[in-house]
A and B are shown apart, each in its own frame.
Chain A
Amino acid sequence: MMAQLIKNGSLTVDTWNSLEIGEGESPETLALPEGDLLFPLAVWLARKNEIIARYPRIGLLLQPADRVEDVAADLHYFQVIAVNFPKFVDGRGYSTAALLRQRYQFAGELRAVGDVLHDQLFFMRRVGFDAYALKDGKSVEAALASAFGTFSQPYQGATDQPLPAFRRNA
């Protein structure tokens, strides 16, 4: 789906496809193709058993308004959770990621998708993302060279470093 997936400090081949609910389709009746799929939350909630039975690897796609709490008990099914940023200024996905990692201990791949840009990567890494589908047309080389190390160390605790500076440096 994305040409430019950054993971583990390099450009990675992506095998996952987002399942889209088309016009006139419903989560309950949508045809499910083969392959590694990122299921929209509504599809997952409607057809959990079918998906578990049919797919060896399962991905979830969360939109900004989707509540992590609604899948909190299901997280062990997902190899990947993709959090969509329809617009980069919509910051809900940061809380989604923080909750998945900090509260629900999600240990699989946590991927930022959508309007994912160079200057937000530092924050995304801090809240717990470990894969980034950089927007088409943006430079992966530049991102890898400088976007993740903008600041040498943070003041406040977050997913990547739970201790604030005043505890680390105490």
Chain B
Amino acid sequence: MYQYTALDRQLINERVAQFRDQVRRWKAGELSDEEFRPLRLQNGLYIQRHAPMFRIAVPYGMLNAAQLRKMAHLARTYDRGYGHFTTRHNLQLNWPKIEDVPEMLAELATVDLHAIQTSGNCLRNITTDQFAGVAADEIIDPRPLAEIMRQWTTFHPEFAFLPRKFKIAISGTEEDRAVTWFHDIGLHLKQVDGQVGFTVIVGGGLGRTPIRGEVIRDFLPWQDILSYCEAVLRVYNRYGRRDNAYKARIKILVQALGIDAFREQVEAEWAHGKNGPMTITQAEYDRVAAHFAPPAYASVGAAELPQEKAFLRWVDRNTHAHKVPGYAAVTLSLKKHGIAPGDITAEQMEIVADLADRYSFGELRISHEQNIILADVKQADLYAVWQQASAAGLATPNTGLLTGMICCPGGDFCDLANAKSIPIANAIQARFDDLDYLFDIGEIDLNISGCMNACGHHHVGHIGVLGVDKNDAEFYQVTLGGRQGNNAKLGKVIGPSFSAEEMPDVVEKIIKVYLANRHEDEHFIDTFDRIGLDPFKNLVYEGRAHGKAKSAAQENA
């Protein structure tokens, strides 16, 4: 993975000194709360329900063992001994003290970690595919360009105070695993006539107004990506709405102008920056790409795996095809039933760091599904990894299955949330605690968000659950048919929302409809596409008063 240069290290140390001084001036009353707010946000510090929440960046999902050990140390020393991995390659700590954060940043800087621009209305962490560099379906490794873009976004002077946050995702594989259709800018690396470049998608996003992005440029040579993004951002910075935070994302500007008019503005702007100094040089690409050269793989063939049912189940769900014969990528599941999805204790972080050192060249990745990946494990080592991961509660074989769900921290922690999400996740996991049943149901994405900000990506879950607030009570709206990937689309609302207690039943009924209707080898989403929303709706709302009958019942109650 990328190794910091003297400049990279100097800049994050200068950032620590800057924030230390900002906290000092804020405590001394030299900075008002309002003036301090964007400064702390751009260092990952939110004020939350119980305490500040501190968000550490994991640029494009890559970590080494020493970095994860440092995170464990921070969780133990400054927090309550655990952290939460988010859907955008960040680790969140829920209970730090603001006064401790400069010291936490200083500790992070010793292992080349930081919290730069992990929140606030600025250029955020760039995300990509957790299998970058090893995926069997990879066209081009996105990491060198992600690192070059990380540097470009860092302290960009013109775009530090955008109308709203700005998220970029890059995918380099046949099948998009980086949710690129739902980012402010989504990039698909591809090769056309021997030339490497991007399809550029703009104006996607989830949140309150979910919109699938639109292609603004079918092919952009890789050398031009910084100058082109600057053109997009300059148009957005100048003309994006600032009167209403809910209408301030670039997607609203793109929709208001229409993609063609927006494209014209960007192209007119880009005409000035194109071929300018921000054009990436081959030398720079080569310098950065050298850091992502393949590790020293052993020449081994495919290994014989022990025929043990529990192990094979884990292999089936939690290991993934690898470019190199005899190797596999492993998902360490942070979706153990009964635990908040994405949560990890300090002890588990240390165990994962040890596993990475022992079996995967000392490196690991964070996936947007909130799991940890060991990308380069010998197949011959899988059994040992499974045993150790199992002992640490990191081997629930539910990746891609119903209980391997994505879930935001929700109303238990987050100030924005309308409703709790973790108890819903746990209640569904408890209902579907039988592995045979889970395997029989097969691949299905269940995504839960505690509010319309959609950190749990509910819109693109096959089953999406959204927490809503109705007269100060928590309810849950269910969508079906959403999906990520190349054919990403938004789910459809099934009908009126449900109480928390109803949710396990609702999910179970949805699953029953699928099981009763599926053709052999049909996944949930295929059956849904074939039979549509109605059969699901009919069973879920069967016997339930709605419309006039419901109003009458409420009046009589």
A→B interface (CB under 8 Å): 88-92, 94-95, 98, 102-103, 117-120, 122-124, 126-127, 138-139, 142, 146, 150-158, 162-167, 169-170
Determine the chain A residues whose CB is within 8 A of the CB of B7 once the complex forms: 153, 165, 169
Given A103, A150, A162, which contacts B14 in the complex, CB threshold below 8 Å? A150
Cross-chain contact A166 with B281 (CB below 8 angstroms)? yes
Q: Which chain B residues in 256-285 approach chain A with CB under 8 Å?
A: 272, 276-278, 280-281, 283-284
- A137's closest neighbor in chain B, by CB? B30
Cross-chain contact B157 with A89 (CB below 8 angstroms)? no
B171 contacts chain A at the CB level, 8 A cutoff = no
Q: Which chain B residues in 83-97 approach chain A with CB under 8 Å?
A: none
Contacts between the two chains (Cβ within 8 Å), count: 107
Please measure, in the bound complex, the distance between the C-alpha atom of A117 and the C-alpha atom of B34, giving whole angstroms: 12
Cross-chain contact A94 with B157 (CB below 8 angstroms)? yes
Determine the chain B residues whose CB is within 8 A of the CB of A91 once the complex forms: 121, 158-163, 237
Given A117, A119, A124, A170, which contacts B281 in the complex, CB threshold below 8 Å? A170
Cross-chain contact B280 with A151 (CB below 8 angstroms)? no
Determine the chain A residues whose CB is within 8 A of the CB of B284 once the complex forms: 166, 170
Given A89, A151, A152, A154, which contacts B161 in the complex, CB threshold below 8 Å? A89
- B285's closest neighbor in chain A, by CB? A166
Cross-chain contact A95 with B237 (CB below 8 angstroms)? yes
Q: Which chain B residues in 237-265 approach chain A with CB under 8 Å?
A: 237-238, 242
Query: Could you tell me the distance in whole angstroms from the C-beta of B155 to the nearest C-beta in chain A?
Result: 6
Q: Which of B21, B38, B160, B276 has the most CB of A within 10 A?
A: B160
Cross-chain contact A156 with B39 (CB below 8 angstroms)? no
Cross-chain contact A156 with B38 (CB below 8 angstroms)? no
Cross-chain contact A152 with B278 (CB below 8 angstroms)? no
Cross-chain contact A155 with B154 (CB below 8 angstroms)? yes
Please measure, in the bound complex, the distance between the C-alpha atom of A118 and the C-alpha atom of B277, giving whole angstroms: 29
- A162's closest neighbor in chain B, by CB? B277
What's the tally of chain B residues with a CB closer than 8 Å to chain A? 42
Q: List 29 A-B contacts (CB under 8 A).
A: A88-B161, A89-B38, A89-B161, A91-B158, A91-B159, A92-B237, A94-B158, A94-B160, A94-B161, A95-B158, A95-B234, A98-B234, A119-B22, A119-B31, A123-B160, A124-B157, A126-B157, A138-B30, A142-B25, A142-B30, A151-B14, A151-B15, A152-B10, A152-B11, A155-B151, A155-B155, A157-B277, A166-B287, A167-B277
Query: Could you tell me the distance in whole angstroms from the C-beta of B285 to the nearest C-beta in chain A?
Result: 9
Please measure, in the bound complex, the distance between the C-alpha atom of A170 and the C-alpha atom of B38, giving whole angstroms: 34
Query: Could you tell me the distance in whole angstroms from the C-beta of B16 to the nearest C-beta in chain A?
Result: 11
Determine the chain B residues whose CB is within 8 A of the CB of A90 once the complex forms: 161, 242
B152 contacts chain A at the CB level, 8 A cutoff = yes
User: Mostly helix, strand, loop or mixed at chain B's interface?
Assistant: helix
Query: Could you tell me the distance in whole angstroms from the C-beta of B84 to the nearest C-beta in chain A?
Result: 28
Given B121, B157, B276, B283, which contacts A122 in the complex, CB threshold below 8 Å? B157
- A97's closest neighbor in chain B, by CB? B158
10 cross-chain pairs, A with B, having the tightest CB-CB distances, nearest first = A91-B161, A126-B157, A166-B284, A123-B157, A155-B151, A94-B158, A157-B277, A95-B237, A156-B152, A151-B14
Q: A94-B157, A157-B276 are in contact. List 14 more A-B contacts (CB 8 A).
A: A88-B35, A89-B38, A91-B159, A92-B237, A92-B238, A122-B157, A155-B11, A155-B151, A156-B278, A158-B158, A162-B277, A166-B148, A166-B280, A166-B287
Cross-chain contact A119 with B277 (CB below 8 angstroms)? no
Given B25, B157, B238, B276, which contacts A154 in the complex, CB threshold below 8 Å? B157
Please measure, in the bound complex, the distance between the C-alpha atom of A164 and the C-alpha atom of B38, giving whole angstroms: 26
Determine the chain B residues whose CB is within 8 A of the CB of A151 once the complex forms: 11, 14-15, 18, 155
Determine the chain A residues whose CB is within 8 A of the CB of B31 once the complex forms: 118-119
Determine the chain B residues whose CB is within 8 A of the CB of A127 once the complex forms: 157-158
B156 contacts chain A at the CB level, 8 A cutoff = yes
Q: A119-B22, A167-B277 are in contact. Are A152 and B155 (CB under 8 A)?
A: no
Please measure, in the bound complex, the distance between the C-alpha atom of A88 and the C-alpha atom of B163, giving whole angstroms: 12
Given B121, B155, B238, B287, which contacts A89 in the complex, CB threshold below 8 Å? B121
Query: Please, what's the 1-or-0 string for B2-28, where 1 marks a CB less than 8 Å from any CB in chain A?
Result: 000001001100110010011001000
Given B21, B156, B160, which contacts A146 in the complex, CB threshold below 8 Å? B21
Determine the chain B residues whose CB is within 8 A of the CB of A153 once the complex forms: 7
Please measure, in the bound complex, the distance between the C-alpha atom of A152 and the C-alpha atom of B8, giving whole angstroms: 11
